[in-house]
Amino acid sequence: MDSPTSPRVLVVEDDAATAAGVVRGLRAAGFDVELSTSGADAAHRIGVEAHDVVVLDLMLPEKDGFEVLERMRHRTSAPVIVLTARTDLADRLRAFELGAADFVAKPFWIEELVARIRSRLRLAPERPKRIVRWAGVSLDLDARTVLVDGRPAPLTPTEFAVLAFLAERPGRAVSRGVLSERALASLDEPDARTVDSHVARLRKKLGEGASAIVTVWGIGYRFDPGGEGA
Amino acid sequence: MLERGLAPRIVVATVLCGIIGFGTARVVWKTVLRQAVVSFHEPLARYTYETYEKARCEAAPESWSMRLERGARAYAYDAATLASRNPQAPPLDRDAWRRVASGEQAPMAIVAHGRTLAAGGALVFRAADSGPCAIVQFTWPEQPLRRDSIVWVTLGAVLAAAAGAALGFFAVVRPLARRIREGTARLEQRRLDLQRHLADVAHDLKTPISSLHIALEQAIEANADAEVAALLSTALHDTVYLAALTSNLRLASEMREGWDPAASGADADLTDVVERVVARARFFARRKGVSLEAAVPDGPTRTRCDPIAAEQALSNVVQNAIAYGDRGGHVAVLLDAAGGEFRLSVADDGPGVPPSELPRLGERTFRSDEARQRDPRGSGLGLAITSEVCARCGWTLAFEREQPRGLRVTFRGACR
């Protein structure tokens, strides 16, 4: 059952099999889903009913997706995720020009569509936190201090630079090369192995908080305070 | 132009034909002349000799000779010795000597002297069974050609060759070229139609593949039976392959139709391309139990290439790495840019490629039949398309072995 606060998603798709799959998949993900199977119907519904997100196929009978996009442009503020078998750059650009928020090429993973809808539903992009706390560690990026279990951690400037560089890009893998260049810039000859040794010392000093610095195979490291895997 | 370069060939061929024709004509002319000498001149010469000269020769064989105008001479030779009693007589023609010595009775014409058409020659006949006047030889010298004759003959030959060449060109080569052009245009049109049809089919396939993909994805979620789920997973991976195949077919047909990803007017931001490709491939990687990570620079990495083509080129390599990776394996996509150049590498710890096959991976063109086959490591159409996009966008594509196992594919090119 959808909760009363479930985000409302309008799916505009004429292919029955795809529509059924998308509706089912989005409902399973907790959305309140409505289906429209033609461009004319979608154009009519948009603006009359309130939706949080619109998932729009570009190839529609009667009115094609571009026309629907154009009509709804000034009638709703709901982000539109365009779904299409077309892969031309021109189509993609046209969709964006007409106000599409995102573009998903067919075939796609339902998980991918769900992830994109969720990312569109966020009220505002999160600003990078300047004070990051995890597993007993408190990192103040502005004051350039690190507390482990309430006590200042004895990080060297390089170790702090490595930690800060990673923490400013949470969830993003950073290569050893980039870390070496950007965080170890004060050293004479920075190299990838030096990065590893700095990270090893940094982890030791962070205690339990070391788990936030995840080794990424083939690349380098990622700051992941939530401990989520890839 | 189809006729280009043919004109000199036609002239050469005509001249060669002329030379062959000239040689043939010379042989024919000599044969006819020999026949004419034997049929007409020999009776005339014999009659003249027997009527007016025979008695004189027999009376004084050591001084007998006949002198005709333009250097023609006649001498008599002994049947036994085949030599003349007249010391001024030239020896009997060698060919005639051999034939008379072997007992030949028939008159013989020797037309072999000289190299020009005005050939000199000899007429030899038997006038008696024995004695010093038994064999009579008429000889006539080669007549030199007059200079104006040479000029006219040469000019005639050149004009004949030119006329032959022109006739060959206008009567044969031009119509042939037109037919070939028309045939080629028809084939080209057919090829374009086929390409367009292929592109349309590839496009139309996406909708059913899409619904199949969604259905399989949901069937796997709903199915508790591990065996069935495994079967469905295999089918789902096939739809991922099919989807990539249709995208590649479409891109291939567009490039064959002359579309150039480097001249599409749009620049690709590789940072964005990597993020898009990885965001999508992550779902496939998760299903396959392969870890997929990417690192990109903080800002955009612009390069001259159509973003959709760049996305497809990278996607093919990343999908291969995931598809052939082992559960628990890793795939890492790393983009960095320095000094006006970018380096984009896709490394994995999968089964890799035998060293002997590494160079072949880059060499394949998307036209090869072999490349169409789906063989291990996806060295089929996908990689061929990737190579083609790289070539058109001016990038290099390198394949290396990862130690201890795996493959590293590296794209390099210029930033904008």
In the DSSP assignment, the letter for residue B364 is -
- Quick one: pLDDT at residue B241? 86
Instruction: Kindly report the nearest CA distance between residue A118 and chain B, in angstroms.
Output: 14
For residue B345, give both structure tokens.
């590498």
Which string of DSSP letters, residue by residue, matches A156-219? -HHHHHHHHHHHTSTT-EEEHHHHHHHTSTTSSS--HHHHHHHHHHHHHHHGGGGGGEEEETTT
User: B336: nearest CA in chain A?
Assistant: A178
Residue with the bigger pLDDT between A212 and B192: it is: A212
Residue type, B408: R
pLDDT band with cut points at 50, 70 and 90 for residue A128: low
- CATH code of the domain containing A74: 3.40.50.2300
Nearest CA in chain A to B267: A89
Residue B42's alpha-carbon distances to B56, B61, B131, in angstroms, are 19, 21, 20
Radius of gyration for chain B, computed over Cα atoms and rounded to the nearest angstrom: 45
Q: Is residue A229 part of a domain?
A: no
Tokens representing A144 are 């350039």
Judge if A163 and A116 occupy the same domain.
Answer: no
Crossing angle of the two packed helices A110-121 and B174-222, in degrees rounded to 10: 80
Q: In a mutagenesis test of the B interface, which of A113, A219, A224 is the best target, namely the one with the most B β-carbons within 10 Å?
A: A219
| Residue A198 belongs to a domain | yes
| Choice between A191 and B389, residue whose per-residue pLDDT is larger | B389
**What pLDDT does B398 receive?**
92
Domain end (from A88, A121, A154): A121
Q: Is the dihedral of CA B47, B50, B56, B62 positive or negative?
A: positive
End position of a domain, from candidates A89, A121, A153: A121
| pTM for the structure as a whole | 0.64
Range of the domain at A26: 8-121
Domain coordinates of chain B in residue numbers?
6-145, 265-414
Taking only the tens place, the pLDDT of each residue in A144-164 is: 889 998 888 888 888 898 999
- Using a CB–CB cutoff of 8 Å, tell me whether A79 touches chain B: no
Last residue of a domain, one of A77, A97, A121: A121
Q: How confident is the model at residue A188 (pLDDT cuts 50, 70, 90)?
A: low
Same domain? For A112 and A155 the reply is no
Residue A228 — pLDDT band, cuts 50, 70, 90? very low
What is the homologous superfamily of the domain B265-414 according to CATH? Histidine kinase-like ATPase, C-terminal domain (3.30.565.10)
* Section A57-86 average pLDDT: 83
**Mutation target among B200, B201, B203, B207 for the A interface, most CBs of A within 10 A:** B207
pLDDT interval class at A126 (50, 70, 90) = very low
CB of A173 less than 8 A from some CB of B: yes
Q: Which residues in chain B have Cβ-Cβ distances shorter than 8 Å to A25?
A: 214, 217-218
Helix/strand/coil percentages in chain A, nearest 5: 40, 20, 40
Give the nearest chain B residue to A13 (CA atoms): B207
Residues 141-170 (A) with a CB less than 8 A from some CB of B: 169
Claim to verify: residue A91 and residue A163 sit in the same structural domain:
no
A132 touches chain B (CB under 8 A): no
Q: Based on the structure, what is the number of domains in chain A? A: 2
Q: How close does chain B come to A107, measured CA to CA in Å?
A: 4
Contact across the interface for B293 and A216, Cβ inside 8 Å: yes
What is the phi/psi pair of residue B303, to 5°?
-145, 155
Cα(B318)–Cα(B345) distance, integer angstroms: 10
For residue A165, the domain's CATH number is 1.10.10.10
Q: Exposure string (b/e) for B210-220, b if CB count within 10 Å is 16 or more?
A: bbbbbbbbbbb
A33 in Cβ contact with A25 (< 8 Å):
no
- In this structure, the answer to whether residues A13 and A117 fall within a common structural domain is yes
The reply to whether A228 falls in a domain is no
Q: Which amino acid is at B32?
A: V
The alpha carbon of B232 is separated from its chain's Cα centroid by a whole number of angstroms, namely: 51
A168: nearest CA in chain B?
B298
- What CA–CA distance (Å, rounded) separates B316 from B320? 6
State whether A165 and A137 are in the same domain: yes
Q: Which one of A86, A87, A174 has the shortest CB-CB distance to B295? A: A174
Q: Quick one: pLDDT at residue B113?
A: 52
Alpha-carbon distance of B135 to B99, in angstroms, equals 12
pLDDT tens track, chain B, 416 positions: 556 677 777 778 878 888 888 888 878 888 888 888 888 888 898 899 999 999 999 999 999 999 988 888 999 999 889 899 999 999 888 888 888 888 888 887 776 555 555 567 888 888 888 889 999 999 888 777 778 888 888 888 888 878 888 888 888 888 988 999 999 999 989 988 887 888 788 778 888 898 899 899 888 888 778 888 888 988 888 888 888 888 888 888 888 878 888 887 788 999 999 999 998 899 899 888 999 999 999 889 999 999 989 999 999 999 989 988 889 999 999 999 988 999 999 999 988 888 887 777 766 554 334 434 444 445 467 888 899 999 999 999 999 988 888 999 999 999 98
Most confidently modeled of A62-66, A69-73, B104-108, B273-277? B273-277
Residue A130 has pLDDT above 60, yes or no: yes
How far B338 CA lies from chain A's nearest CA (Å)? 11
* Contact: B207, A106; criterion CB under 8 Å: yes
Q: What local confidence, expressed as pLDDT, does residue A229 receive?
A: 41
The whole-number pLDDT of residue B351 equals 86
pLDDT score recorded for residue B312: 93
Helix, strand, or coil (residue A53): strand
**Minimum CA–CA partner of B202 in chain A:** A85
User: What percentage of chain A exceeds 70 in pLDDT?
Assistant: 91
* C-alpha span between B50 and A189 (Å, rounded): 122
- ipTM of this predicted structure: 0.72
Q: A13 and A66: one domain? A: yes
